[in-house]
Structure 1
Amino acid sequence: MRRQFHKMHGLGNDFVILDAREQPLAIDESLVRQLADRKHGIGCDQLILLEPSKSADLRMRIFNEDGGEVQSCGNATRCVVKLTGAETIETAGGLLHGRSEGDAIEVALIEPRLAWDAIPLAYPLPTDPLPMGWENLDRPYAINVGNPHLVFFVDDLEDADLEGIGPGIETDPVFPERINVNVATVEGGAIRLRTFERGAGLTRACGTGACATAVAAIRSGRATSPVEVLMTGGTLTINWSPGEPVRMRGDATYVFEGSIELP
């Protein structure tokens, strides 16, 4: 069976998008790994599957390159809005809203969740900050913005061996659904950010990571809204006020389309 796909990226966080709204497609871990492989497949950080929705313009399912399905992805949402023109998107992490703003795409994620069981944690703990540490990283902020995130604020972004320490934090038993790990510095009112994504590793950009980090910085008085979040792949502008959804604005880039033979 031959299926069309679209290749897109948001600030270097890249996706293979399959549209199954009219022709259903069964996805399993093995197929995701095959398509995400950069030497033997198409290559991507996440595979995105578009399906019909009864509550929104479409349903978006997100699979990390290791085959695991996750709840939300900010960069992918911007790409899907640009590709399809959808204004409402159903995800496992909640209902998202998107729109074009000139050359940029703005996406409204859910209102941040801060309760321990909404992260989720394995048992009750304060989350603002979390009284835990790993090597030279400690007392992170735990926030769920559709995906669960830890945010560590440090003086020097390069001091943290995120690639080395990230897997241990991601899979710590306190996080039953694993966790995304963010390390950030605040300089001149802007945030510099590096993210280790669960199931994907170090990434050039993470939309929900940028949102979670901005929320943590605003809540802790380190930054004010709107705030720019600078990542290896580029910059997002995050706007948030307490009691409101998080709004993220940035680029989405169409790379190419093609077709591939699927089992």
Structure 2
Amino acid sequence: MAQHRFHKMHGLGNDFVIFDARNHDLALTGEQARALADRHRGIGCDQLVVMRPSAKADFAMQIFNQDGGEVSACGNATRCVVALAGRDVVIETGAGLLQGQLGDGEVSIDMGLPGLDWDAIPLAYPMDTLTMPVGWEDLTDPAAVSMGNPHVIFFVPDTHAVPLDRLGPLIENDPLFPERVNVNVAHLAEDGLHLRVWERGAGLTLACGTGACATAVAAIRRKLVTGPVAVHLPGGMLTIDWQPGGSVRMAGPATHVFTGEIDL
């Protein structure tokens, strides 16, 4: 049997199975990724990541969601692969080249420019992405931001009062979002933004790095906060900095849990 080595890692509880295929070939299907991500019959994770060779960066990163679908970006996974590489790196992703830096107990990522136009999200038709004239029950007037993957952000009085387990899949699959969407609910407190996320293809998650970035961008655009801002998720805190017209920077921990081998 061919055994393949993997690493189990997490960023604030958002967990990943990571295969390092920089020096050998590894072909994975969406069906295999879905089986590996199964928490009862597989290894269990929110996303599965494959590190691959790249001609224009230190390495490339392929990302599968829990449902087996591929996505272009994942902020927490990016911090984890930088930590696994053990040095400052440039990573090729479906969302472009991302720069990662190791810090004192944290990993910092330049997440690139946010997408703010309706067709960059993408939406099904033109509208203002800062205050969208749409709503689902009590969730109304959201903002939309692309961080290489689509996000819709609702600012609410109490994130825990939102039935995100019910409304999340409803909004994720609305025809307004041709590529589906990650659903963020946030409220502003004295210590920063508090955020819960329904992640496209994964469901409720302890943390979402691109969601934290998108929410901070939306809050700064609405002049609710200025960067850098602390974003508190169920799994812990990320620091997000953005100045209009510039790149988004995200800083937070990346934790290695264990290493194992599996016959694919």
Q: Which residue of 2 aligns with 1:8?
A: 9
Following TM superposition, the consecutive aligned residue runs of length 4 or more in structure 1 with deviations greater than 6 angstroms are none
Structure 2 counterpart of 1:74: 75
Which residue pairs with 1:132 in the alignment? 134
Equivalent AA in structure 1 for residue 117 of structure 2: A
Which residue matches 1:205? 207
Aligned equivalents of 1:94 and 1:136: distance in 2? Answer: 35
Q: Distance in 2 between matches of 1:129 and 1:61?
A: 33
CA deviations on 1:78-135 (whole Å, 9 max, x unpaired) are 0000001351001001111110111110001011111111000111121111111001
TM-score by length of 2: 0.98
Instruction: Report 1:18-37 matches (<5 A).
Output: 18-37=19-38
**2:88–2:102 CA contact under 8 A, matched in 1:** no
Query: What letter matches 2:241 in structure 1?
Result: N
State the match for 1:45 in structure 2.
46
TM-score by length of 1: 0.98
Gaps of 5+ in 2: none
CA offset at residue 158 of structure 1?
1.6
DSSP 3-state at the match of 1:117: coil
Residue of structure 2 equivalent to 1:154: 156
Per the TM alignment, residue 160 of structure 1 is displaced from its structure 2 partner at its CA by 0.9
Aligned equivalent of 1:65: 66
Describe how 1:158-237 pairs up with structure 2 within 5 A: 158-188=160-190, 190-237=192-239
Q: Partners in 1 of 2:95 and 2:131 — Cα distance?
A: 23
C-alpha distance in 2 between matches for 1:246 and 1:194: 20
Task: Give the CA deviation at 1:189.
Answer: 5.1
Q: Which runs of 5+ in 1 are unaligned?
A: none
| 8 Å CA contact retained: 2:11, 2:207 | yes
C-alpha separation in 1, matches of 2:50 and 2:212? 23
Structure 2 residue aligned with 1:100: 102
The whole-number CA distance in structure 1 between the counterparts of 2:226 and 2:190 is 11
Shift of 1:243: 1.1
Select which of 228, 243, 249 maps to 2:245.
243
Give secondary structure in 2 for the equivalent of 1:248: strand
> Helix, strand or coil: the match of 1:116?
coil
Hey, what does 1:122 align to over in structure 2? 124
CA distance in 2, matches of 1:156, 1:4: 42
The CA RMSD measured in Å over matched residues stands at 0.8
Q: How much does 1:39 deviate?
A: 1.2
Identity across the alignment (%): 57
Sort the Cα spacing of 1:68 and 1:209 in 2 relative to 1 into closer, same or farther, 3 A.
Answer: same
Number of aligned positions between the proteins:
262
Contact 2:121 2:146 survives alignment (8 Å): yes
CA deviation vs aligned residue, 1:143-201 (integer Å, no higher than 9, x gap): 00111100100011122111100001001111111100000000115000000000000
